A and B are shown apart, each in its own frame.
Chain A
């Protein structure tokens, strides 16, 4: 079967760095996606990894290890506006998106 796990909630301090992990089990793989969703707003695409390694995009980076079934989203220089839910999603061999339940990130001053 397919399964995605990510922590339910995390807390971090403004200006710090936080890493949100996502582990998955799947029989087929066509990429790993991260989305950001502020409360009451639409989820928005953040990143896409299909090969192993780190993809950097400004303050946000996403890492993938296909052999370990593991990804993380790294947020640097945290700002209050980064308080949101972060959704991990896996695209399987049928090009279906399998979603995690999301990690609610709380930023404290």
Chain B
């Protein structure tokens, strides 16, 4: 138990579906992150929120839309995805804002796009 909970753990969707991934952290952290993890590739940072404000968008396609209603919750809205978007999506949080490398990760949402 890392204090970061992601739902759903597994998701299968068609290319025309709309779905959302949810992340909740119970650690009182101020920064939250979305990462994409593909097999045998480095973690790819997608979005960063610090005190609910988006501070980083790493050239992510608009079919991925993040939402951070408060410091404890983070969503990733998915729309019109492509098969190459199939991956493990990891949420993370950190205590001291974005200038720390000590991240607390959730177990991820395994996404399969058909």
Contact = CB atoms under 8 A, between A and B. Distances in A.
Interface in B1-59: 2, 4, 40-43, 45
A31 B101 contact: yes
B40 A8 contact: yes
Contacts of B104: 42, 45
A45 B104 CA distance: 7
Nearest to B110: A40
B23 to A, nearest CB: 11
A97 B92 CA distance: 13
Contacts of A100: 42
Interface stretch (A52-60, A62-70, A76-84, A88-96): A88-96
B45 A45 contact: no
23 contacts: A8-B40, A30-B101, A33-B101, A33-B102, A41-B107, A42-B2, A42-B4, A42-B90, A42-B104, A42-B107, A43-B90, A45-B102, A45-B103, A45-B104, A48-B101, A95-B98, A97-B43, A97-B103, A99-B43, A100-B42, A101-B40, A101-B42, A102-B40
Interface of B: 2, 4, 40-43, 45, 90, 98-99, 101-108
Interface of A: 4, 8, 30-31, 33, 40-45, 48, 87, 89, 91, 95-102
